[in-house]
Structure formats: C-alpha cells, structure tokens
Amino acid sequence: MTTPLRLGIAGLGTVGIGVVKIIQAHADLLTERSGRPVVISAVSARSRSKDRSADLSGYAWETDPVALATRDDVDVFVELMGGADGPAKDATEAALDVGKDVVTANKAMLAHYGQELAQTAEAQGAVIRFEAAVAGGIPVVKALTEGLAGNEIRRVMGVMNGTCNYILTRMESSGLPYEDVFEEAKQLGYLEADPTLDVGGIDAGHKLSLLASIAFGTQVAFDAVELEGIQRISIEDIHHAADMGFKIKLLGVAQMTGRGLEQRMSPCLVPATSPLGQLDGGTNMVVMEGDAVGQIVLRGAGAGEGPTASAVMADILDIARGYRISTFGKPAARLTPAKAAKATAPAPYYLRMELQDKPGALAKIATVLGEAGISIDRMRQYGHARESAPVLIVTHKTTRDSLDHALSGFAATQVVMGEPVAIRIEEV
Amino acid sequence: MTTPLRLGIAGLGTVGIGVVKIIQAHADLLTERSGRPVVISAVSARSRSKDRSADLSGYAWETDPVALATRDDVDVFVELMGGADGPAKDATEAALDVGKDVVTANKAMLAHYGQELAQTAEAQGAVIRFEAAVAGGIPVVKALTEGLAGNEIRRVMGVMNGTCNYILTRMESSGLPYEDVFEEAKQLGYLEADPTLDVGGIDAGHKLSLLASIAFGTQVAFDAVELEGIQRISIEDIHHAADMGFKIKLLGVAQMTGRGLEQRMSPCLVPATSPLGQLDGGTNMVVMEGDAVGQIVLRGAGAGEGPTASAVMADILDIARGYRISTFGKPAARLTPAKAAKATAPAPYYLRMELQDKPGALAKIATVLGEAGISIDRMRQYGHARESAPVLIVTHKTTRDSLDHALSGFAATQVVMGEPVAIRIEEV
C-alpha cells in the first residue's frame, strides 16, 4: 500500500509544470486519497535551461523522452509534449512496450493512433489514460466511461474548443467581424501556433472522435469526423441567429444512427436558452445522453494550467488506487470499426440569403423549398435600402440531401445574390 | 476475468426495478465494459405478490434482506430499500460483516451512520459505493472523489432536491403561492411520504453532508448541517428577487473556512444568469470548486427510475472492474471529525420589509444598517396604496451576526411592520 507510484513526466510546458506544482503542494493529500505516495522520478523537456516556475532540482533529467519513458524508476509515463507523431508517440510506445502505464493529454496522438496504442497497452497489461485530452479539467472521460457505463449512449455533444467559443461570443458582444476578433485572440495568445487547429475545428474534432469511441464502442475514427471550422461565420449571422433566439456554437455531435456513426464538428445553431446556448467565453461543455440517465451536462474550464493538470492528476491517482480500465472503456480488440454514416440525421436549418428586390422573388424561393420537400417554420424579410433584401428562413427538419437540392435550386432561380448561408440547428 | 459478479438486490421499488431492467436489457454491453458478466442471484422486497414491470422469475427470492445480504451466491449487496435505520441498516451491516461489497442509494443511512459503516467496510476489506444517493443520475460522487482528486476542494454547492426546485420554479412561472404549488406537487406524486424530508431540506441536507465528507476529508456530520426549508418562501419574494436579477433556490453549500466546516442547506438568492439560477424544474445541479480545476458544474436528472438506476449500475460496474476505493475517498480512520463553523461566511443579503408610511421611516432603517456596519448595495421602495410601503434592500457582504444585530435594531425603530425577510445571496 505504501509503495510510491513513480512518475516520469515528459513535457514541462504549462500543463507539465501544473502537474509538478500539484504534486509538490498536495503531497499528503494525494497520499491519503490514493493510499500511496505519488512521486516524480524524472522529467524531460526540449530545453533544460529554460526558466520554469517550479523547482525541478529533485528530479533526474532526461534529454530523450524515450529514455525517460523506459527508466526503471518510472511506473507511469506522463506524456505532456503534444503532437500526433514524433517524440510523443515514440516515447508512449516505448513506455507501453515495457509495460508501463501512460497518462497523456495528447488528443492528436490518440485521435490518429488510439486503436494501435490501446492494443499495445492491453497486450502488455498497461493502461492508457487521457482525461486531460478532452475538455480540460472537466472529468468527461471518466463520466462517460465509468459514470454512465450502465447506459447505451444515444448522443454525445460538446463545445470543446474554448478559443472558438471565445471568438464567437466575443463577436456577438462586440459586434466586430470574425477577422478582427481572430486577431484579438491571437494577440491574447489564445490560438495554437497553427490556428487552423482551433478555428478549423481540428482540435475539437480530435476530442470528439475520442468520446465517440468510448460512447459507441467503436475504433477511434477521426478521419470520419465531418469537419467545418468557424472561419466563415459572419457577424450578420450571429446577429440574425440571436434575433431568432439562437446562438452559433462550434458544436461537436456524435451519434449512432441506423445509417452508421455520425461525427460532426461544425458551427450549429442552438437555442439561446439551452445550457449550450448560454455557454460564454472560453468555457467548455459536454452533453451526454444515455438511455437510462437521460441528459447529463458537464461544464468547466477546457484549458489552462490548473484545469488540465487537475485532469492529469485524476488519471495518475486512479492508477495509484489500482484502477485498471481499457483505454476506450472496453478491450481494444472488441472495439468495432466505425461505419461512418452516409448522411447526417435530419435537422432544421437556418438559411440566410440576399434576394433581388423584384416581384415574385420570395415566391420562387418558397417554391424551390417546397419542391425539395422542405417546409418553412419561420421566415423573416428585413427592411432594406439596397437593391437586395436579406431573407432569413428557419426550416422544419430536413435532410442535408434535400437541403443541397434546394440550394442548387436557389441558384437556378437567379433571384438569389451570392451564396446562401445554411447552418444546421441542433436540437439540444 | 469471466467470473460473474453476483448481485443480491433488496428493494424492488422504482430504482430496484430500474436496475433489474438495465441488467436484463444490456447484459452484453455490461459484460464488455466491465470484463465480466453481471448477474442477479437473488432479490428481496416487502411484498412478493406485487405486480412489477420486470420478470423476476430467474432470481431466488428472500423474505429477509439480512438473509439476502449474506447469501453465498451474492458478491455485492445492492441496498435500495431506503430508511436510515431498520432493515436497510441491518442488512448493510450483515453484508459488510461477512466482507461483501455494498452499493446503496440510501442517503439517510449514510448521513447518519456513514462513519461507522465505512469503518466496518474497511475492516472487512469491503467497499461501500453510493453514487445514486446524491443527485440521482449525475456522477457527482465519482467526479468529486476521483475526477477532482488532485484538488484541494474549496466549496461544493448544489440544488439537490428536484421537488423543491420544481416548487420554487413553478411558483415563479404560475404566480401561485407556496401552499397551492405544494398541493400540486403532492397530487403529482413528487413528494416523499413525509414531505418535510423534501421541503424541509432534510433529504438535500443528507446529500450535502456526504459530499462535504468527500470534499474535505471529514467525518459525515449531518447533524451539523444548518437546515432551513422552503416553506416560508413567499411568492412576493420570488417576484422581488426576479426584479433584482435573482432566483431563489434551495441551495446546499459546504465550504471549509478558518472557522471550521460550514454546511448549509437553505433558500438562497443566486444570480438569474448563473448556471444555478437557470436551473428550472426538477433538474439537479452540483457545483464543485477546486484549487486547480476552478469551477466544475454538473447537471442532470436528480431522481427517477432510469437516472437513479444508472448511478447504481455505475457503482456495480466499478466493482466488477475491480475498483476498490474508501467509502469517502480516504480511509475512514483518516477522516477527521468535522469542526462545525461557529458562523457562516459573510455574504450579501436580500432584505424585504414593510415600512410604515411616515416621514423618516427609511432614514431610521438606513441608520440601523449603518450602525450595524452593513452598507447598502441597492434599495428599492415600491409605490403603494396602503399605509405601509414595501422596501427591498440588497446589502454588501456582511456577517450573519451583524445582520441579526440589524434585524433586532429594526424592531426597535417601530417603523417596520411584521417580520422582515432576510435571505442570503450566495456568490456562485
């Protein structure tokens, strides 16, 4: 019971230092809770000379993360370097190959190599834990894998990229266009070095693919996530959506349908009064729906030193307590290949277009929709001083196929100026 | 790995039958997730002849829950009878005495006997799990004990009695007084046989005392919970609070202060725009604040067959997976006696009183507050056609002592008619 659990931590950025600080500050608390001391044997990072806000003098230093991962005095390899490939993956594999447990915050690595890493882990009797990879400090992996384990999961949804949510809510509150707020976020250091990871929905898509694997017992299939970023969201659409009682969110949705597994990460409208609609700024939210439990909503900080380190510590303490669980909640060999849904579930859509100001224009649009089998829930035409009139339409539920059919029909009418905007309305 | 985990279920009410249904419907799913079959060996309930919506013919029947709890073919005793004392406690003790694990939804039993039951369990190498005892289907016990285990917990709050939240939100939406909505809730079957358990805050207080033990590593101290029910909340106060941007909630708050452990279950005002303020109807919400993770919010159904059975299943599956954890997150012997705080943390207060309509009345009130060291944040006096004027005051932060001092001061002015209303405003 009192054998210490010995960690090797690779990556001493914000999160790594956060973990070191917690272990130093709360040593007694952690021992009481997990039943054994949690200690750091060795650390590793790109630069040893960098000034860091924690005292690392008590730990061995390894230049090579692979060497760190395989040290005799390391029980758990804590991978906080990031990056799908390269040193993170090499060191993770090296740790698993010698039967060491791995705790990681690396969503990209798991989204791309989750299945093979899980298989390696299980072959060696090791576990991989990744609470910090999804929604920062919120214990969503634990809630889904363990807390809701008695449920057949119906749907998992979430706002899982705080930067995108910051940009969208800041656009609404400031009235500034996307480009300006994007620059603001960049200045504030909110964006990844490659901002497409954030605003293109890739980072959030990685997270969604991990939750989908747990929820539906399928192999991680990040390549099958339909990805659409927030770059084309205009301030006009944010304002019009608000007028109609909606917010625009970069929303991830995974659900198992008769047509296969649907995974989408894309801008959606959600009711302004729903928990997701009320989520402002950089906060994350994950919604899980199970056949027995109904809807569970979890909300909290999705990034940052403390929250992410808190999630890493939860995994470490579970291992200290002796918890052993398959990476994605059931044995890797039992995870089924995800059959990607050919089409997304029907939904209402928000449409915005500019109509030429001439008689019969609106009738033509309505006719196209009718012919595509799409009925109109609400429509608004705004007053205008130009030669075109902005028109908003909220449709009843329709398929994406019917919608695409209608969109090409609009073009043929020659009364629609420019490209119509179509955004899915998710029922939440 | 494939040895079945064998259950004995005592209590076949809503929750018990819910558990039976999940086990029957999801046998394969549960086996895949936990690594072993989960089977029911025997069941027990007060009446065998009652018509139940599940087929129980495959299970042995025990009339005596103690006999059930100690059967050789039972690994886990699932206690779903309820009641702090009597058969539930007898059978739980019997199970623990022979080293069997216990899963229970019984908040009353644990609030009163949690410490001694935890000690018995640990002496016998057994575990007690009680996810279903707090906030129904929301995995709050797991989130706090495991998901946030790396944190020093600062505060735990929650709306944990759906019936009270239903009554309060229904009062606001209908404009009906407490008594009428109480009757409505009774007709709808929302109230316990002894309604004081709900509206007196006792049931929610039980839950709070369990979360406080986990959060602060203290022995369960239900007797130290300051309890105040919702029976005296008037429709006037609900409306006035709404005018000032607040909602009234039966809110549980546990926090460790320099003065000791504070546990309160009482009506509070919270900002209408906060997650707690936006919680309508019978839904539950628990808010946890940790030094690393910041604020985590969990929301979901706090009662009902499916949600509560989901929580029971989570505990059963954790045991099937081999998870062993101390009842309240650290060994029972290490839980410290809770030193109850002598006074509650300072807070702003909402005050409502009827002032006699004569010159200088308001000045007298303001003077009393000033002399008690209480400063005024906002004040409203409403137009009136009577001989008295309703006055609302929101104070800045003050202690309960100062407030009580002011309240007696008001009486001495002889300009306040009747009893002033004072409700704490919780910062959330």
Concatenating the DSSP letter of every residue in B356-372 gives ESSTTHHHHHHHHHHHT
**A213 contacts: CB under 8 Å, gap ≥ 6:** A114, A219, A220, A221, A328, A335, A338
Three-class secondary structure of residue B124 per DSSP: coil
Q: How high is the pLDDT of residue A357? A: 84
> Residue B383 pLDDT > 80, yes or no?
no
Of A29, A147, A152, the CB nearest to B142: A147
Chain B residue with minimum CA distance to A335? B32
Q: Please enumerate in sequence order all residues whose Cβ is within 8 A of that of A147, keeping only pairs 6 or more positions apart, or say none.
A: A296, B131, B139, B142, B143, B311, B314
ipTM, interface predicted TM-score of the complex: 0.95
- CB of A325 less than 8 A from some CB of B: yes
Tally Cβ neighbours within 10 Å of residue B271.
17
Q: Would you call A244 an interface residue with chain B, using a CB distance cutoff of 8 Å?
A: no
Chain B positions touching A152 (Cβ under 8 A) are 26, 29
Shortest Cα distance from A275 to chain B (angstroms)?
8
- CA B381, distance to chain mean position in Å, is 36
What is the per-residue pLDDT for A1? 52
Report B:301-320 residues touching A (Cβ under 8 A): 301, 304, 306-307, 309-314, 316-318
B290, A310: Cβ pair inside 8 Å?
yes
List active site positions of A: 207
B334 Cα to chain A: minimum distance (Å):
8
Give me the pLDDT at residue B359, please.
Answer: 86
Report the percent of chain B where pLDDT is more than 70: 99
H-state helical runs in A244-360: 305-320
CA distance B311 to chain A (A): 7
Tell me the catalytic residues of B. Answer: 207
Can you tell me the distance from the alpha carbon of B40 to that of B91, in angstroms, rounded to the nearest whole number? Answer: 17
Q: How far is B135 from chain A (nearest CA, A)?
A: 11
The answer to whether the CB atoms of A33 and B329 lie below 8 A apart is: yes
Q: Are strands B101-104 and B76-79 parallel, antiparallel or unpaired?
A: parallel
Report which of B380, B371, B379 is spatially closest to residue B403, judged by C-alpha positions: B371
AA identity, residue B288: M
List the structure tokens of B280: 């309508």
Q: In what order do the strands lie in the sheet with A38-44?
A: A60-62, A38-44, A5-10, A76-79, A101-104, A128-129
Task: Report the predicted TM-score, pTM, of the whole model to 2 decimal places.
Answer: 0.96
- Cβ-based contacts of A300 with chain B (< 8 Å): 293-297
Helical segments of B98-195, H only: 107-123, 140-142, 162-174, 178-187
Q: Are B265 and B198 in contact (CB under 8 A)?
A: no
In angstroms, what separates the C-alpha of A286 from chain B's closest C-alpha? Answer: 10
CB atoms within 10 A of CB A158: 30
CA distance A321 to chain B (A): 7
How confident is the model at residue B276, as a pLDDT? 96
Condensed to tens digits (0 to 9), the pLDDT of residues B259-313 reads: 999 999 999 999 999 999 999 888 999 999 999 999 999 999 999 999 999 999 9
Question: Is the CB of A31 inside 8 Å of chain B's CB atoms?
Answer: no
State residue A318's pLDDT score.
98
Q: Are B147 and A314 inside 8 Å of each other by CB?
A: yes
Give residue-wise pLDDT tens across range B225-267. 999 999 999 999 999 999 999 999 999 999 999 899 999 999 9
Q: How far is A33 from chain B (nearest CA, A)?
A: 5
Q: Which amino acid is at A158?
A: G
Burial of A360 (0-12, 13-18, 19+ CB in 10 A): exposed
Is a pLDDT exceeding 60 seen at residue B315?
yes
- Interface contact flag, B293 A150, Cβ < 8 Å: no
DSSP summary character for residue A347: B
**Given pLDDT bands bounded at 50, 70 and 90, which one contains residue B358?**
confident
Q: Which residue of B has its CA nearest to A285?
A: B297
Chain B residues closer than 8 Å to A301 by CB: 293-295
If phi > 0 it is left, if psi is from -120 to 50 it is alpha, else beta; for residue A83 that is: left
Q: Categorize the per-residue pLDDT at B1 as very low, low, confident or very high, splitting at 50, 70 and 90.
A: low
A31: nearest CA partner in chain B:
B330
Query: Given an 8 Å threshold on Cβ–Cβ distance, is A33 in contact with B149?
Result: yes
Residues of chain B in contact with residue A313, where contact means CB-CB under 8 angstroms, are: 149-151, 292
Mutation target for B interface from A78, A291, A310: give the one with most B CBs within 10 A. A310
Contact at CB, B306 and A325, closer than 8 angstroms: no
B256 has a chain A CB within 8 A of its CB: no
pLDDT at A246: 97
Chain B residues in contact with A158 (beta carbon < 8 A): none
CB contact, 8 Å: B297 with chain A? yes
With CB atoms and an 8 Å threshold, state whether A314 touches B26: no
Q: Is A275 on the interface with B (CB under 8 A)?
A: yes
Q: How many whole angstroms separate alpha carbon A225 and alpha carbon A71?
A: 37
CA pair distance B407, B124, nearest whole angstrom: 53
Q: A330 to chain B: which residues are within 8 Å by CB? A: 32-33
Q: What is the mean pLDDT of each run of 10 residues along chain A (428 residues)?
A: 92 97 98 97 94 94 98 98 96 98 98 98 98 97 98 98 96 96 94 93 98 98 97 95 96 95 97 93 96 98 96 98 97 95 91 90 94 95 79 96 95 92 94
Residues of B in contact with A299 (CB under 8 A): 275, 296-299
Residue B30 distance to chain A (closest CA, Å): 7
β-pairing, A5-10 with A283-290? Answer: unpaired
Q: What phi, psi does B214 have (nearest 5°)?
A: -65, -45
- Residue B309 with chain A: CB contacts under 8 Å: 150, 292
Tell whether A352 is within 8 A of chain B (Cβ).
Answer: no
CA atoms of A267 and B256, how far apart (whole Å): 42
Question: Hey, which residues 48-67 in chain B have their CB within 8 Å of chain A?
Answer: none
> Are the Cβ atoms of A299 and B300 closer than 8 angstroms?
no
Give just the sign of the alpha carbon dihedral A87, A88, A91, A96.
negative
Phi and psi at residue B111, in whole multiples of 5°?
-65, -35
Tokens 């991962």 correspond to what residue?
A: A69
For residue B356, pLDDT beyond 80? yes
Q: Across all residues in chain B, what is the average pLDDT?
A: 95
Residues of A in contact with B325 (CB under 8 A): 321
Task: Specify burial of residue B85 (Cβ count, 10 A radius: 0-12, 13-18, 19+).
Answer: exposed
Find the CB nearest A330 among B33, B142, B314: B33
CA distance A136 to A312: 9
Interchain pair B149, A313: CB under 8 A: yes
